[in-house]
Amino acid sequence: MDSASDVLSWILLALGGGFVFVGGLGALRLPNFYTRMHAASLTDSMASILILLGIMLQAGWSLAAIKLLAILAFLLLTGPTASYALANAALLSGLKPGSSADESKEN
Amino acid sequence: MVILFAVFLLTLLVLTAVAIVRTENLFVAVMLTGIFSLLMAANFFVLDAADVALTEAAIGAGITTVLFLGALALTAEHEKSVSAGRWLSMGVVIVTTLVLIYATFDKPRLGDPQAPVHLHVAPWYLDKTPEIIGIPNVVTAVLGSFRGYDTLGELFVVFTAFIGVLFILSGRRGRHLPSNGRASSSTDQGLGHHLIPKVVGRLLIPFIVLFGFYVQFHGEYGPGGGFQAGAIVAAGIILYALLEGETQALKVVPPPALMGMVVGGAVLYGAVGIAGIVLGGNFLDYSVLADNPVTGQQIGILIIELGVGIAVCGALLSIFHAFAAREPS
């Protein structure tokens, strides 16, 4: 049981790390602001779920697990909100989605 | 393993520092300073300095970034290029770097038990804290009691910074009076018309403030204390100001109350010290505050941490409002 949860925890952590990596790659390589943000924000939410679940399995049933759950709830609330605010601010400041020629604007 | 993490984080720190120096966009520089502080906090945490890490994360990465952005809203986004004296400053930086690198040759190895810092008073603090003060967090014991004078000094540094910023920035306080006519536009300020940030922000603010109080009053048992708690509570109120508009936030905590918080917090700290004298001990000697010296120490630390928290919260909020109250020039 102990080793099973350990293996599961490491699988979750590795998957989370993979999501972070993909998100970072997307934020660097995708052509314009909105696609980059899309890559970074979606993978970020998924990665925080996976990584925090992985750490929670490591922590076991303890106060630390509940604290990690609180952190997860906080991240799941703030992350998408921050992405929304960022995209909204970009839209309001006149950056049109869909054009790949806005390279100069977001740098 | 720790060394590996530390080297990785330090490498990122150096890269961030170089990026801060090289970028000419001040907005990018502000964001990078936030990242720098967060990396620094992680670094402190790797070195087991959880209290310092919490302070760095709350003040360095959190509040300072907001204050920088407030300052940036008043100025231009791009750095003015200065070419005069570049070689001179380059020379000064290179010489200082070489001197610092030379100085590290005498530094004891990380975690060396024979390092001077571990042989002087630190063992005494570790040894005597359970007996004299009876709290698990030695950092709080050192900061609040053994080195109470230093913390009092730090608090007065915060206090002086607060006075300085107010002198420089707040010339137009009258703008916030309701009779001024700008109050009617308070609904336009803030993010009131953006539903999602508003709802989420309102949901989070109570928990942020509650977490601030937790950090404040749990500081004797875990990482935390007045400086961090003051910054976290201030962050909650600044979030409120960003969501509901600055005028609304000033209604909740009006400028006289902010002034009272800073002065009151500093005076509270000093008063605990004087209470020590009145009750027959030395200045900042908490042992005489109660019949049992250990209880007295705990009461003293609790009150001075409260003073620190109130003063820091008031000072940070005042500085934020001082920036927000200025019109862009």
Residue found by looking up tokens 């042992």 in the block: B287
Nearest CB to B203; choose among A77, A84, A85? A77
Name the more confident of B125 and B102. Answer: B102
> Rounded distance, CA B258 to CA B176, Å?
14
What are the pLDDT digits (tens) for B201-211? 888 999 999 99
B309, B195: one domain: yes
Is the per-residue pLDDT at B182 higher than 90?
Answer: no
Helices B293-324/B64-72 angle, 10° precision? 20
Q: Where residue A107 falls among pLDDT bands split at 50, 70, 90?
A: very low
- B211-232 pLDDT, tens digit each: 999 999 888 887 888 889 999 9
Residues 6+ positions from A42 with CB-CB distance below 8 Å: A23
**Residue B72 belongs to a domain:** yes
Predicted pLDDT of residue A100: 55
- For chain B, how many structural domains are there in total? 2
Judged against a pLDDT cut of 70, whether residue A10 lies above it is answered with yes
Give domain status of residue B284, yes or no.
yes
For residue B172, what pLDDT is reported? 56
Mean pLDDT of chain B: 84
User: Does the structure show a pLDDT above 60 at B174?
Assistant: no
Q: Is residue B83 part of a domain?
A: no
| SS3 state at B25 | strand
B129 in a structural domain: no
Q: ipTM of the assembly?
A: 0.79
d(CA B239, CA B204): 9
Q: How distant is the Cα of B200 from the closest Cα of chain A, in angstroms? A: 7
Cβ pair B197:A78 closer than 8 A:
no
One-letter amino acid of B42 = A
Residue A51 β-bridge partners: none
Which has the closest alpha carbon to B250: B165, B162, B161, B174? B174
At residue A1, the pLDDT reads 53
**pLDDT digit string (tens) for A16-34?**
999 999 999 999 988 888 8
CB contact under 8 A, A78 and B203: no
Q: What is the mean pLDDT of residues B279-306?
A: 85
The pLDDT, as a whole number, for residue B285 is 82
- B139 plus B51 within the same structural domain: no
| Containing structural domain, residue B329 | 135-170+187-329
Q: What is the pLDDT of residue B13?
A: 94
Q: Which of B78, B113, B146 is the last residue of a domain?
A: B78
Render pLDDT for B83-115 as a digit per residue (tens, 0 to 9).
777 888 889 999 999 999 999 888 888 778 888
What was the pLDDT predicted at B233? 93
Phi then psi dihedrals of residue B195, to 5 deg: -65, -45
Count the Cβ atoms, other than its own, within 10 Å of residue B323.
21
CB atoms closer than 10 angstroms to residue B112 = 11
Q: Which residues 172-201 of B have a C-beta within 8 angstroms of A? A: 191, 194, 196-197, 200-201
Task: Return the percentage of chain B with pLDDT > 70, whole number.
Answer: 92
Note whether B163 and B280 are same-domain residues: yes
Q: Which of B179-193, B222-236, B241-255, B277-291 has the lowest mean pLDDT?
A: B179-193
Q: Say if B178 falls within a structural domain.
A: no
DSSP for B217-284, please give it.
Answer: HTTTTSS--HHHHHHHHHHHHHHHHHHH-HHHHHHHS-HHHHHHHHHHHHHHHHHHHHHHHHTTS-TT
A81·B196 Cβ contact <8 A: yes
User: What single letter denotes the amino acid at residue A25?
Assistant: L
Give percent above pLDDT 90 in chain B. Answer: 23
Higher pLDDT, A78 or A106: A78
Chain B residue at shortest CA distance from A81: B197
Minimum CA–CA partner of A82 in chain B:
B197
Do B298 and B200 lie in one domain? The reply is yes
